[in-house]
Amino acid sequence: MNFERLIIQGGYALEGQVKLNGAKNSALVLMAASVLGKQDIIVLENVPRLADIEVMADVLRSLGAKVHFTDKNTLEIDPRNIDKYSAPYELVTKMRASFFVLGPLLARMGRAEVALPGGCAIGSRPVDIHLKGLEAMGAQIEIEHGNVIAKVDKLVGAEIYLNFPSVGATENIMMAACLAEGTTRIYNVAREPEIEDLANFLIKMGAKITGAGSDIITIEGVESLRQPVHYSVMSDRIEAGTFMIGAAMTRGTLRLEHAPVASLDSLIAKMREANVLIDIIDDHTLEVRGRHPILATHVRTLPHPGFPTDMQAQFAAMMAIADGTSSITETVFENRFMYADEMQRMGANIRVEGKTAIISGVPRLSGAPVQGTDLRAAAALVLTGLVAEGETSVSNLFYLDRGYECFEQRLASLGARICRVSVKTEKQEAVSLA
């Protein structure tokens, strides 16, 4: 069995320019939203080439859509022949965002069968808020053998209050409401920038949506969505934040292009508190300059516009080498500090107490073999390896490849000493020696 690892020699600053890719968490839901379209081809530009995108493409194909890349980052979807309402179990459990086809399928077909996505490394990830919203619009929903089975003659607009501003629930309900009869008003919705990207995309398809980005979204249902759509996915704010932290930790100077500057306010504020120099050049360009010392600070993750939970592990990596003691409180997911044990192997001083990690900065970290425990934890361990003395090897790269396109190549082009190797396991060697 071959395992891939990233081998990193620490101590090299990130210098230069990086052009950001399209946002994974927008591209995935826009692909799901294409299920609503009945009449025309949908072209999505700036789609990142990631494992999760391939899984979502397979989900759409399993429903009857035609999906293919017309060039490196341009995806063409033909939803006209979608004739199935059941998303395959093995795909939904591989990638929980497949669950985002529930709302569109129900709205288009009057029926949808999608496996319950189940939990993952960072939490139990229930979908009760999704289901409650769809039931409010008239759907009959049962759970049978691990599948959500939803049926409705015609969805009807409703007043829906979300118990938590869930990103996925907001998206599933928004998409379903586009084809409901009458008006849907959703309160306490997620305000993440990806929600606005979805609303802009649906409006281009002919939907009538107002309020995206605020805490109340209003949707006037329409008969069908027919417009041909050519849409460019917003750039990835979490990829941007990951590179920004890398520049700060390695005391490099990095210029980010195609950056969604307006969606980075909370991260920029916290990085500036930590003594990182950040110049905003224009709406899509910023420059990050790391300097010594990095100052300890305190972070609490919150739904947007609060500090993003998807940046929590990366920020912890920076606090591991800060002057002083920091704290990071995770309020969105219940189990998102699994990277702490791995960082401790590199000499970090992190103590997790319930929802809060207390991080006492240390003057230096030492390279070690570590393993990713979820997507953003894997990225955080790579960043830690960039500053640790000696060699760090990061495994479980399938997590990393879900969310970062050509991550190591791009870091190497900025001056990092990093490469991907295939490592034969001892068992494999034993067999080959026999």
DSSP sequence for 64-127: T-EEEEEETTEEEEE-TT----EE-HHHHHH-GGGGGGHHHHHHHHSEEEEE----BTTB----
Q: How far is the CB of 335 from ligand EPZ (least distance, A)?
A: 10
216-220 vs 229-232, strand pairing mode: unpaired
403 contributes a contact to ligand EPZ by CB under 6 A: yes
Catalytic entry in 120, 178, 406, 419: 120
Question: Which of 25, 34, 326, 396 contacts ligand EPZ by CB under 6 A?
Answer: 25
Closest to ligand EPZ by CB, 30 or 261: 30
Q: At a CB cut-off of 8 Å and minimum separation 6, what does 379 contact? A: 242, 313, 314, 400, 403, 404, 407
Q: List the end-to-end C-alpha distance of the chain, in Å, as a whole number.
A: 16
Using the rule CB under 6 A, is 307 a contact of ligand EPZ? Answer: no
Task: Give the binding range for ligand EPZ (CB under 6 A) out of 42-50, 72-80, 123-131, 209-217.
Answer: 123-131
In the bound state with ligand EPZ, the residue whose beta carbon lies nearer, of 60 and 296, is 60
User: Residue 89 corresponds to which tokens in the numbers above?
Assistant: 């179990």
Q: Does 172 sit near ligand EPZ (CB under 6 A)? A: no
309 near ligand EPZ (CB under 6 A): yes
Specify whether 178 is catalytic: no
Q: Does 97 bind ligand EPZ (CB under 6 A)?
A: yes
In angstroms, the CA 92 to CA 84 distance is 15
Q: Which of 134, 169, 271, 378 binds ligand EPZ (CB under 6 A)?
A: 169
Work out whether 126 is an interface residue with ligand EPZ (CB under 6 A): yes
Looking at the Cβ atoms of 118 and 390, the one nearer to ligand EPZ is 118
Q: Nearest 5 degrees, angle CA 375-CA 35-CA 131?
A: 70
Report the residue from 82, 127, 176, 189 that binds ligand EPZ according to the rule CB under 6 A.
Answer: 127
Closest CA to 342 of 309, 310, 384: 384
405 binds ligand EPZ (CB under 6 A): no
Contact present, 301 and 330 (Cβ < 8 Å): yes
- The type of residue at 63 is L
Stretch that binds ligand EPZ, among 34-42, 64-72, 165-173, 175-183 (CB under 6 A): 165-173
Q: What are phi and psi of 60, to 5 degrees?
A: -65, -40
Q: Which positions from 343 to 382 touch ligand EPZ by CB under 6 A, shown as an x/- string? A: --------------------------------xx------
**Is residue 28 a contact point for ligand EPZ (CB under 6 A)?**
yes
Q: How far apart are CA 263 and CA 93, in angstroms?
A: 30
**Token match 């993440």: residue?**
192
Task: Select the residue interacting with ligand EPZ from 32, 107, 167, 247 (CB under 6 A).
Answer: 167
Q: What is the DSSP letter of 407?
A: H
For the segment 199-238, give every residue that binds ligand EPZ (CB under 6 A).
none
Cβ atoms 396, 6 nearer than 8 A: no
**310 contributes a contact to ligand EPZ by CB under 6 A:** yes
Q: Is 333 in the site for ligand EPZ (CB under 6 A)?
A: yes
* Contacts with ligand EPZ, residue ranges (CB under 6 A): 24-25, 28, 97, 123, 125-130, 164, 166-169, 190, 192, 309-310, 332-333, 375-376, 403
Positions marked catalytic? 120
